[in-house]
Amino acid sequence: MQNVIVYVQHKQGNTPKVTFEMATLARKLADQLGGKAHAVVVGAGSSRLAETLKSYPLDVVHVNDDADVDGFLLDPIVEYLDAAAKAVGPSLILVANTLGGKDVAGRLVARLGAGIVADATDFKIEGGKVEAVMPKMGGAAITTAAFKGGAYGIATIRPNAFAAQAGGAGAAVQPIEKPVGKSYAVVVENDVEEGTGELALEEAPVVVAGGRGLGGPDPFETMLKPLAKEFGGAVGASRAAADAGWVPYSLQIGQTGKTVSPNLYIAVGISGAIQHKVGMRSSGTIVAINKDAAAPIAEFSDLTVVGDAFAIVPELTKLVAAAKA
Amino acid sequence: MKIVVTVKLVPDPNAEKRIDPATKRLVRTGVETVLNPYDEYALEAALQLKERIGGDTTVTVFAMAPESLKETLRKALAMGADDAVLLSDAGLEGSDVWGTSYAMAHALKKVGFDLLIVGGLSDDGSTGATPGALAEYLQTPLVTNARKADVADGKLQIERETDTGYQIVKAPLPTVMTTALTFGEPRYASLKGIMGAKKKTIAAMALADLGLDQSVGAAGAKTELLSFAPPPVRGKGNVVEAADGATGAKAIFDFLKEKKLV
Ligand SMILES: Cc1cc2nc3c(=O)[nH]c(=O)nc-3n(C[C@H](O)[C@H](O)[C@H](O)COP(=O)(O)OP(=O)(O)OC[C@H]3O[C@@H](n4cnc5c(N)ncnc54)[C@H](O)[C@@H]3O)c2cc1C
Ligand SMILES: Nc1ncnc2c1ncn2[C@@H]1O[C@H](COP(=O)(O)O)[C@@H](O)[C@H]1O
């Protein structure tokens, strides 16, 4: 396990920020392992994305604009990565810990007979051995695990955990051959982008989340969204808010919703039930706005402001906007 | 049609977890073992499909866990699964994700299925990699995050959530599928279900039944756990009473400024 390969998940060349975080991480790890940093970009729009990736510190970007990648589910990607891994030789393969990334990572575990470390937030290389730090059980435990050798290892990478930094000599862009003689089983009949153009919750550096204390759907639009926007962040919610139909379930954070770990989490009118806590407790900084000083969220927030959200949030939005100007 | 659902038995996710600093292990006293929440959703999907397809469709639940947790599986039977298979063996202890999926895949091949529904994520392992690894070892397609599924003409038609929207896909059988939480809330076990579950069979499987070529358990694992520690204590931070909106906003703003977050 000496080289590093980044699987670049994208749609028509649009890729989440975690790709660039992984490209930066790959360089660092490859240098420590004494190997090369590679990236694999396949599917429509790949060549365009490869141009952007060139300015990240990678050695080689392997590209194919193969439309089959988009027409079939998963199988073509696995075939390309398998081929790339075998061509590059013993490597650590980095995959984003996203819905789509997990599928690819799982298939590779069996395809390459490799170990996996999941949702990594830090790495250490000790005597050529790769160790990963991973929060588990909703952040109740921090674990460290190491690969026991083996030619290949898979790591899924938590978005926002590593910094993205362009630079480097400029990667060589190389075509990668389409694997021959493969059949793909699952046909994608319809592919719908619910393109709100907004940042995915798990990716957002700042999350402004609302709960039952907001009393209805409107404050999410008129109050939380503008604040989130000032931060370049996204809006989330408690289950109570999703159950009430104020926001879609895709915004729910917690045990039965999404797990987020932004640099800053602002909980507005959320009491901080354990099922909510497990979805956000590993956020960098937690700020709560709650009119009840005894709300459980105060027990694990870095700052709790006791007061009326409807009075505080608009004022805060103004302050943040003014600071940016 | 034979539907099999994998169910992991995990420490209750709702319990406050504590790690014993001396042993570096999870304190399990007072923490109940339950069905992994995502797997309850997977089971709900299986039961809905069984109701819709009808005929001789059956739902089997499958778990790899210590024999001592056998009774926890009754909950799945009480919810409506027809029978269960429990793969237990001392030799499986300490298996990593690779070993778990390798052993499970061999067992599931023996159990047989037309549709294998796997949970999206386990509460304790949380890799989400098991479904993919199972599909690869079983040489079936993998369709994850289904929010709707139907079987027509021997094919699965699935609506699945993606990172950025949704897709409609068609897959042949047998297939491995995982469910999104939007598929439907898991049902409660009825009193009748609970009574009926006592009579349902939980078949036992052991390593010797699988005929594996590679060693699993701690010895065969491709990764090893080096440390398991509580997170850095996140103490109670400052609590500030805000007389009005402007004061509250300023308190937050100053704090964020100090932390270089604005
Ligand atoms: C199996 C299971 C799974 C669950 N999964 C999840 C999950 O994934 N995510 C999740 O969030 N929950 C989950 N829950 C629900 C969880 O237990 C709580 O019920 C839920 O988180 C409460 O949401 P809330 O904090 O918005 O509402 P509440 O607990 O009602 O809290 C509302 C808060 O708003 C404050 N407030 C009211 N008005 C104002 C105001 N004007 N200004 C400021 N503050 C105000 C109140 O003081 C209160 O603290 C789950 C529960 C179960 C049983
Ligand atoms: N030991 C096990 N027994 C049964 N199912 C399991 C086991 N381990 C993992 N799974 C299944 O795989 C899914 C994903 O688990 P994981 O990859 O650990 O996040 C779970 O939701 C379960 O359905």
Q: How far apart are CA B255 and CA B64, in angstroms?
A: 48
Distance, in angstroms, between A139 CA and closest chain B CA? Answer: 7
CA distance linking residue B137 with residue B101, whole number of Å: 8
Structure token digits, residue A243:
């159950």
Query: CA angle at residue B88 from B84 to B93, to 5 degrees?
Result: 140
> Candidates B10, B122, B134, B202: which one to mutate for ligand 2, based on the most atoms within 8 Å of Cβ?
B122
Q: Residue A21's Cα: distance from chain center in Å? A: 9
Residues of chain B with CATH 3.40.50.620: 2-220
d(CA B213, CA B29): 37
Report, as ranges of residue numbers, the positions in chain B whose pLDDT lies below 70. Answer: 24
pLDDT more than 70, % of chain B? 99
CB contact set of A245 (below 8 Å; sequence gap of 6+): A217
Using CB atoms and an 8 Å cut-off, which of residues 81-110 of chain A contact chain B?
97-100, 102-110
> What is the mean pLDDT for each group of 10 consecutive residues in chain A (325 residues)?
96 92 97 97 98 96 97 97 97 94 97 97 93 86 92 94 89 96 94 69 92 98 97 95 89 84 95 90 93 96 98 98 91
B-chain residues within 8 Å CB-CB of A131? 226
Judging contacts by C-beta atoms under 8 Å, the chain A residues touching residue B136 are: 78, 106-107, 109-111
Give the H or E element holding residue A19. Answer: helix A18-33
Question: Which CA distances in Å does B77 have to A205, B5, B123?
Answer: 43, 11, 21
Ligand 1 centroid, distance to A217 Cα (angstroms): 15
CB atoms within 10 A of CB A110: 24
pTM of the model: 0.87
Residue A196's pLDDT is what?
54
Q: How far is the CA of B152 from the centre of ligand 2 (A)?
A: 28
CATH superfamily of this structure's domain B2-220: HUPs (3.40.50.620)
Maximal C-alpha separation, chain A: 65
Q: Is A211 in the pocket of ligand 1 (CB under 6 A)?
A: yes
Provide the ipTM. Answer: 0.87
pLDDT number for residue A195 = 55
d(CA A147, CA A258): 28
Q: What is the largest CA-CA distance in chain B?
A: 70
